Structure 1
């Protein structure tokens, strides 16, 4: 990757992760409210951070961003693990989700886990985590013949959006990883908690969209190419139909909450992806970033997840400079998000300088152990 290309890619990595967190924080406080109630309070849509109640000040992220950050950490650690000659093992991401589970079940770091992210006290907050994620990860932790501890697919039929809302980082991997691999591995990672084919395929599609955007494709072309991958898979119909409707509405219907509601509530994977795609297509320009996020979160449904996915997409499209400054600087966890974004870029562009000659004894592999 040439220097200029690397700089553009790094800006997209930062934009995708910060953009997703901003959309998440915008939507979190209104997630369980009716669309009419939201519009009565915010006639122009939710365009600034609002208070979510006790322990939920404006700018607070939810489990969507928490799990996305652990996805990033898992991918970095999978890269480090290749030092052992084992190849790039996506099951390492499952281990990262197991560390996220600690943040939802313990009051703080136990001192028994490695790596730096699980030591961040601010992550030890429950922000309406999905029951499917909690249950599937708890069952996987037990291990056994039906569910391998790490790397096994969840034994359930859930297609909730808890998979798709966390897998955008797979699309940020550099071009050396083929796009069909990115699609399949993102789907696999979603399957650690969500067993229904639609939950997995919607996740693979999001990762493929992000990947195409990082490669310089326009938004419409990125969606078209990701959909062409999607329809090769058995059981694609729910996701491909939802995306088709999203594109049709973006081209023909007024951009507003009434149109968003036609796509569903976003509680399930294909609806969450469709709402995010619709909002991004309705407001695709860099100076429309906040318009798109406001549209994505102002509805009767899973507002934080649809906002997060929309922010992931537009952040990857435009890079960090398009992010609304007034939302960036007050975002919870911004320092950690940027640290992970930059470390992700370092791992996948400067690996030979970080891993060095001393294997697990280097500072980098202490920060990101390969497992």
Structure 2
């Protein structure tokens, strides 16, 4: 079932969003620990949710999932806007990130809410949000030197993983969208906060991989597509080499895999945050191995929540919701909202005309 051609698109969307949240929540409590320490404390690797400390109960998601949810909400609103004859643009996605910024600057919804997602109290928790994301979005709102204005890519040299960890929803768009457009759009959305080519191109590559998977391609075929698209862009070498390294390591014998993962870096920068889950997904790509993959994806000395989230995005898209570990899927924070957004996304992108009630739920912006 490596290609998973029989998995319905809606199941892939639900699986990818929920799988990303599971990986995020699994890896968050060990994000700043070393790989050897994680393996010592969890000899079978981390396969259940654990507490991240005071005020951080097991199953808690981080800014990775928060921003992913605002990405998919932004895409829904972009489609609603398109149905009004305004065209499908990425401005609503940038606007969605601005709403996420509000959740990080206030402890609860304030004033008039812009859409239902912004009213979800649980999204107002600060879970170590990326400083680059915060600074770039504040700059988009207020302006300033070396900071972009709203609706334009940021002017900085950051290639942190804060872009790639949130763009999986672009890959979930139906196959009526060209994969090249998906790649370029995800890269542009990442560029709202991360200006380095690798920060943008790794994001485009992830979206392309997921998009091809959702069309029924094997993981290897999806990686081939992403590799080819990367070569069309200046500055692709870091991301291309990281993906090539992941594929090369995945082809080696299985001994010492928890240590091998460290060779791909820590996941703090975009190309490493993509390479680690790609490596893990390649060596654990059967549907019954999803938990094995997630456990390995968070067991390294680095950004464990982001690599776990991206691994969940990939394998959730490959196999659908049913392949996700049941206990984790049923207890991850925000499950109901995540699945509501997934279903609304499928509903919106399955229709050809505007629906007033839906437009009220997702006001165009």
What residue is the counterpart of 2:16 in the other structure? Answer: 16
What is the distance in 2 between the residues matched to 1:64 and 1:239? 20
Structure 1 residues 331, 107: CA separation in 2 closer, same or farther (over 3 Å shift)?
same
Give the superposition deviation at 1:176. Answer: 1.3
CA RMSD, aligned part only?
1.5
Confirm or deny that 1:47 pairs with 2:42: no
What residue is the counterpart of 2:59 in the other structure? Answer: 59
Give the superposition deviation at 1:364. Answer: 1.4
Aligned residue runs from structure 1 range 216-235, under 5 A: 216-235=216-235
Aligned residue runs from structure 1 range 77-96, under 5 A: 77-96=77-96
Give the superposition deviation at 1:226. Answer: 1.2
What is the distance in 2 between the residues matched to 1:129 and 1:251? 35
What is the distance in 1 between the residues matched to 2:168 and 2:28? 19
How many residue pairs match? The answer is 360
Confirm or deny that 1:117 pairs with 2:117: yes
SS of alignment partner, residue 86 of structure 2 = coil
What is the distance in 1 between the residues matched to 2:93 and 2:233? 23
Q: Which moved more, 1:93-102 or 1:77-86?
A: 77-86
What is the distance in 1 between the residues matched to 2:101 and 2:124? 10
- TM-score calculated relative to the size of structure 2: 0.96
Give the superposition deviation at 1:34. Answer: 1.1
Give the superposition deviation at 1:17. Answer: 0.3
- TM-score calculated relative to the size of structure 1: 0.94
SS of alignment partner, residue 252 of structure 1 = coil
What residue is the counterpart of 1:182 in the other structure? Answer: 182
Give the superposition deviation at 1:350. Answer: 2.5
What is the distance in 2 between the residues matched to 1:38 and 1:277? 21
Confirm or deny that 1:317 pairs with 2:318: yes
What residue is the counterpart of 2:252 in the other structure? Answer: 252
- On the 8 A contact 1:72/1:169 being kept in 2, the answer is yes
Structure 1 residues 7, 38: CA separation in 2 closer, same or farther (over 3 Å shift)?
closer
- On the 8 A contact 1:92/1:150 being kept in 2, the answer is no
What residue is the counterpart of 2:75 in the other structure? Answer: 75
Q: Which moved more, 1:142-151 or 1:110-119?
A: 142-151
What is the distance in 2 between the residues matched to 1:325 and 1:209? 25
What is the distance in 2 between the residues matched to 1:200 and 1:80? 26
What residue is the counterpart of 2:361 in the other structure? Answer: 367
SS of alignment partner, residue 331 of structure 2 = coil
SS of alignment partner, residue 46 of structure 1 = coil
Give the superposition deviation at 1:35. Answer: 1.1
Structure 1 residues 81, 51: CA separation in 2 closer, same or farther (over 3 Å shift)?
same
What is the distance in 2 between the residues matched to 1:273 and 1:164? 7
SS of alignment partner, residue 262 of structure 1 = helix
- On the 8 A contact 1:253/1:259 being kept in 2, the answer is no
What residue is the counterpart of 1:212 in the other structure? Answer: 212
Gaps of 5+ in 1: 357-361
- On the 8 A contact 2:7/2:320 being kept in 1, the answer is no
Give the superposition deviation at 1:110. Answer: 1.1
What residue is the counterpart of 1:359 in the other structure? Answer: none
What is the distance in 2 between the residues matched to 1:342 and 1:241? 36
CA displacement 1:313-367 (0-9 Å, x = unmatched): 0011001110000101111000000000000000000352xx23xxxxx321121
What is the distance in 2 between the residues matched to 1:86 and 1:147? 27
What is the distance in 2 between the residues matched to 1:344 and 1:149? 28
CA displacement 1:6-43 (0-9 Å, x = unmatched): 97000100010001000000000000011111111101
